[in-house]
């Protein structure tokens, strides 16, 4: 894989215009800065923890630090039971080394936005900085997975999520995409009647499932497990259910139970409405058409961050961490895309740049005096800015005056023709022609 990347790099670089510049900005010699993208692995356990923290933040008013009560002392027995509950999931799902290659592609809308800015600015940008800009933005890139021919992947056609298990993907589609095909309709009914000593609640989500002695309890428990926690064995998930003897919670459940939800097929609004179970049974008959068996898959970064498969997630996250330090595969993809979009790439000082203006060296003696003056100045003062050029060549002009604008017209013409390269930070350089290799 590394040899393949090296070969791609050499082939791509050999097609770039190689220039000697009388100035290469110092920033261009440095690798892109470290991204502040969240450095964590998205697993079922972290997702559940985030959900609990989010629910806690939204349900309780913020208190000042000095008003906060100390946490209660925990019973060692309770702590041991919590550890026992969490241990089987980690032991049951060890992280495996998978025979897949992971690379990264620019998201087309973000790439198009970059290209528009490059065209509008008329400046040259370092390719690696642009690649790092996209790879550090979860909305800026796609994840590409390529597996060996013997290794099957299953991809959802709706959201592009990927799984190694067809059954797990079916559960994902059932839980996440039922609403894509069925419209939910709500109505109110009378609250449940009877004697209810307690109400069951999911510790992870805080969702009330109802009294264990109510006929709807098992159905709601199964529904929540399939839609949110299908990756956890049912018996193991049941350990997260607690029964609370709280009158307020019982009344809350009664009020929530008044809502009756029916499902109606979006493609046939006149069809008979169904309850959740009937809708799922009908939808399951069409799920096969939403699953594709692949050896190569491309998915949005946000989708990749929410995969349930820990081994697959770990493989992608490890590749992303490497890419975030040096965005090699992203730069390959962007290089090809920029050429397709009629942008120009050139190398100077071992740094690749992209611009929509092709560098075109010109000798000062072949130009008119006012243009030659600008070229000679930049030849002697590499890295100057427009402001510096004005201060030296036209010290009497107010930088905002009409005279100053007219004096800079040759500079604008030279930039448009590629005789001068303006970098994104405003520094200027003259291309001295193709570098002769020794």
Q: What is the pLDDT of residue 175?
A: 87
Q: Residue 35 has what pLDDT? A: 35
Query: What does the pLDDT average to over 131-146?
Result: 96
Residues 6+ apart with CB under 8 A from 215: none
Is the pLDDT reported for residue 25 higher than 80? no
pLDDT in tens, 331-355: 999 999 999 999 999 988 889 999 9
Could you tell me what percent of the chain has a pLDDT over 90?
Answer: 51
Please give the helix or strand (H or E) that residue 19 lies within, else none: strand 17-21
Buried b / exposed e along 101-111 (16+ C-beta atoms within 10 A): bbbbbbbeeeb
pLDDT of residue 51 exceeding 90, the answer is no
Q: What integer pLDDT is reported at residue 21 of this predicted model?
A: 52
- What confidence score (pLDDT) does residue 294 get? 96
pLDDT at residue 297 greater than cutoff 50: yes
Predicted confidence at residue 93, as pLDDT, reads 61
Q: Does 31 score more than 80 pLDDT?
A: no
Domain boundaries, the chain: 28-56+82-164+293-340, 166-286
pLDDT-derived band at 15, boundaries 50, 70, 90: low
* Residues in contact with 64: Cβ distance below 8 Å, sequence separation at least 6, in sequence order: none
Which pLDDT score is estimated for 153?
Answer: 97
**pLDDT, tens only, 116-128:** 999 999 999 999 9
Q: Under a CB-based contact definition with an 8 Å cutoff, are residues 198 and 244 in contact?
A: yes
Provide the pLDDT for residue 113: 94
- Tell whether the model's pLDDT for residue 370 goes beyond 60: yes
pLDDT band at 16 (very low <50, low <70, confident <90, very high): low
Q: Are 282 and 274 in contact (CB under 8 A)?
A: yes
Averaged pLDDT for residues 152-177? 94
Q: What is the value of pTM for the model shown? A: 0.70
Tokens of 303: 């989708």
pLDDT of residue 162: 97
What tens digit of pLDDT does each residue of 201-227 get?
Answer: 999 999 999 999 998 899 899 988 987
Pairing of strands 141-147, 296-300: antiparallel
What is the C-alpha to C-alpha distance for residues 115 and 271, in angstroms, rounded to an integer? 48
pLDDT at residue 433, as a whole number: 62
pLDDT, residue 85, reads 44
The CA-based dihedral angle spanning residues 318, 322, 323, 327, taken in that order and rounded to the nearest 10 degrees: -170
Q: Check residues 77 and 334 and name the one with the higher pLDDT.
A: 334
């Amino acid at each position: 894989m590394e040899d393949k990347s090296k070969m791609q790099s050499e082939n791509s670089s050999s097609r770039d215009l190689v220039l000697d510049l009388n100035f290469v900005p110092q920033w261009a010699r440095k690798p892109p800065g470290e991204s502040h993208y969240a450095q964590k692995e998205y697993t079922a356990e972290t997702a559940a923890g985030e959900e609990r923290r989010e629910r806690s933040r939204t349900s309780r008013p913020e208190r000042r630090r000095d008003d906060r009560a100390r946490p209660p002392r925990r019973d060692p027995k309770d702590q041991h039971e919590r550890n026992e509950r969490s241990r089987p999931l980690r032991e049951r799902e060890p992280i495996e080394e998978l025979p897949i290659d992971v690379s990264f592609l620019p998201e087309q809308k973000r790439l198009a936005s970059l290209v528009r800015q490059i065209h509008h600015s008329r400046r040259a940008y370092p390719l690696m900085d642009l690649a790092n800009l996209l790879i550090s933005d979860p909305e800026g890139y796609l994840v590409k997975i390529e597996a060996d021919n013997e290794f099957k992947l299953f991809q959802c056609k709706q959201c592009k999520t990927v799984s190694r298990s067809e059954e797990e993907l079916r559960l994902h589609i059932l839980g996440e995409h039922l609403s894509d095909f069925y419209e939910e309709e709500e109505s109110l009914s009378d609250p449940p009647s009877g004697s209810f000593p307690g109400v069951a609640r999911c510790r992870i989500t805080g969702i009330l499932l109802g009294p264990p002695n109510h006929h709807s309890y098992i159905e709601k428990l199964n529904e929540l497990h399939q839609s949110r926690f299908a990756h956890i064995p049912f018996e193991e998930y049941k350990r997260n259910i607690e029964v609370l003897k709280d009158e307020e919670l019982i009344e809350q459940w009664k009020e929530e139970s008044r809502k009756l939800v029916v499902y109606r097929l979006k493609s046939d609004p006149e069809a008979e409405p169904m309850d959740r179970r009937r809708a799922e049974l009908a939808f399951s008959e069409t799920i096969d058409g939403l699953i594709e068996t692949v050896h190569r898959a491309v998915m949005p970064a946000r989708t990749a961050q929410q995969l349930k498969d820990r081994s697959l997630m770990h493989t992608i996250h490890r590749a992303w961490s490497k890419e975030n330090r040096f965005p090699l595969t992203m730069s390959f993809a962007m290089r090809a895309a920029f050429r397709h979009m009629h942008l120009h790439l050139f190398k100077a000082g071992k740094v690749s740049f992209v611009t929509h203006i092709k560098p075109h060296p010109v000798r000062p003696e072949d130009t008119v005096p006012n243009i030659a003056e600008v070229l000679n100045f930049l030849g002697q003062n590499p890295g100057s800015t427009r402001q510096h050029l004005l201060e030296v060549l036209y010290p009497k002009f107010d930088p905002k005056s009409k005279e100053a604008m007219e004096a800079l017209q040759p500079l604008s013409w030279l930039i448009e023709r590629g005789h001068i390269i303006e970098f994104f930070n405003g520094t200027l350089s003259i291309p001295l022609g193709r570098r002769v290799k020794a």
